[in-house]
């Protein structure tokens, strides 16, 4: 997946908006970023819960990683071109679900 494809996929999520953060491009849901540009041109940041961040870094450290700037935060950097597209889309879906409303999650079958 390319940088543009990653942003495009994130923008297909309900309520997603193209935005900026610190001068870079990001995708927001309800005002919170879910995908964010990074200084490293080979990576983008994903806003995920800490358990998922830890799991991704442990299972695919060549793809999912953190710099000191992100340590301690619920976000992970991803070398998007090296990532498995299906798994990356799954992570974008998870980032969206963290910020979506309960009604949006329910409409997607994520809540009973």
Structure tokens given for 55: 């799991």
Phi, psi of 16 (to 5 degrees): -75, 140
* Exposed e or buried b per residue across 55-90, where buried means at least 16 C-beta atoms within 10 angstroms of its C-beta: ebeeebeebbbbeeeeeeeebbbbebeebeeeebbe
Q: What is the predicted pLDDT for the residue at 112? A: 59
pLDDT beneath 50: ranges in the chain: none
Q: Give the sign of the dihedral formed by CA 87, CA 92, CA 95, CA 96.
A: negative
Mean residue pLDDT across the chain: 94
- In the chain, what are the domains? 3-107 (3.90.1150.30)
């Amino acid at each position: 997946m390319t940088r543009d494809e990653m942003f495009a996929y994130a923008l297909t999520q309900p309520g997603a908006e193209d935005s900026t953060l610190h001068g870079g491009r990001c995708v927001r849901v309800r005002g919170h970023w879910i995908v964010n540009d990074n200084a490293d041109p080979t990576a983008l940041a994903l806003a995920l819960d800490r358990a998922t961040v830890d799991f991704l870094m442990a299972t695919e450290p060549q793809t999912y990683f953190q710099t000191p700037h992100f340590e301690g935060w619920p976000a992970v950097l991803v070398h998007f071109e090296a990532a498995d597209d299906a798994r990356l889309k799954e992570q974008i879906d998870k980032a969206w679900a963290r910020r979506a409303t309960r009604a949006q999650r329910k409409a997607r079958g994520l809540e009973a």
